[in-house]
């Protein structure tokens, strides 16, 4: 019998939600370990043996200990090609990776600056209080990144044509700034894409598990 993938995640965690979304999209059975970062569980020696950063998410599968949500997602997609979460060509896969790096290195850091100020759910759970000046800087950065996404999404439903990990990568943090009232109206293709992403059954299940 094949062993189930096991995901360690926390409530109200956008990065956890990225991997939970992928697991639900894949349709596979998986084992859930919900950790409470406030109880010290994520800093325990046992958990740090899985993720030395003591952060969530992390995945354990048949001897593999993996952290970083996008690396976890890549592994799930490669292990389960039948879920069609990646293009089959090397060129297509490289293009998807480009969007995943763009999200991790640019879009998410800007979103974090914004939602720390605008998201009451993040402030309450993570006990944070954002800096309005930093949020303004985040909005300035988004004004540089969103036209790139807008242009890629004009006349297509998904970043690489078919739905893929490229799209999954953006759902949690764009949803969090959206919930906080971020104005997407100058970017109609991004707005429509985000609506499509958030309407997916797998995202609805992710919301229930991670944010409700």
Which residues of this protein are in contact with ligand GSH, per CB under 6 A? 13-15, 37, 54-57, 68-69
Nearest distance in Å: CB 54, ligand GSH: 5
Residue 188: how many other CB atoms lie within 10 Å:
12
| Closer residue to ligand GSH (CB): 69 or 93 | 69
| Closer residue to ligand GSH (CB): 118 or 187 | 118
Handedness of CA 79, 95, 177, 71 (dihedral sign): positive
| Closer residue to ligand GSH (CB): 55 or 80 | 55
| Closer residue to ligand GSH (CB): 16 or 93 | 16
Contacts 24+ apart (CB under 8 A), 117-121: 117/180, 118/177, 118/180, 118/181, 118/182, 119/176, 119/177, 119/179, 119/180, 121/12, 121/179, 121/211
Nearest distance in Å: CB 123, ligand GSH: 14
The CB-nearest residue to ligand GSH is 55
Nearest distance in Å: CB 41, ligand GSH: 11
Cβ-in-10-Å burial (0-12, 13-18, 19+) of 37 comes to middle
Nearest distance in Å: CB 68, ligand GSH: 5
């Amino acid at each position: 019998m094949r062993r189930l993938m096991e995901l360690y995640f926390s409530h109200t965690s956008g990065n956890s939600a990225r991997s939970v979304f992928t697991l639900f999209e894949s349709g596979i059975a998986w084992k859930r370990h919900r950790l409470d970062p406030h109880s010290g569980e994520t800093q325990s020696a046992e958990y740090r043996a899985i993720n030395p950063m003591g952060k969530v998410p992390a995945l354990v599968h048949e001897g593999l200990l993996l952290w970083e949500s996008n690396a976890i997602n890549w592994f799930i997609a490669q292990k389960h090609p039948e879920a069609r979460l990646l293009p089959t060509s090397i060129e297509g896969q490289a293009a998807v990776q480009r969007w995943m790096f763009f999200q991790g290195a640019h879009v998410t850091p800007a979103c974090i600056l914004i939602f720390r100020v605008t998201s009451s759910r993040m402030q309450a759970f993570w006990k944070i209080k954002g800096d309005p000046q930093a949020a303004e800087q985040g909005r300035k950065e988004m004004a540089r990144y969103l036209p790139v996404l807008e242009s890629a999404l004009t006349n297509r439903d998904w970043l690489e044509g078919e739905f893929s990990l490229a799209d999954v990568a953006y759902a949690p943090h764009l949803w969090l700034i959206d919930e906080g009232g971020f104005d997407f109206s100058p970017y109609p293709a991004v707005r429509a894409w985000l609506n499509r992403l958030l309407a997916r059954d797998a995202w609805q299940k992710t919301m229930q598990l991670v944010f409700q």
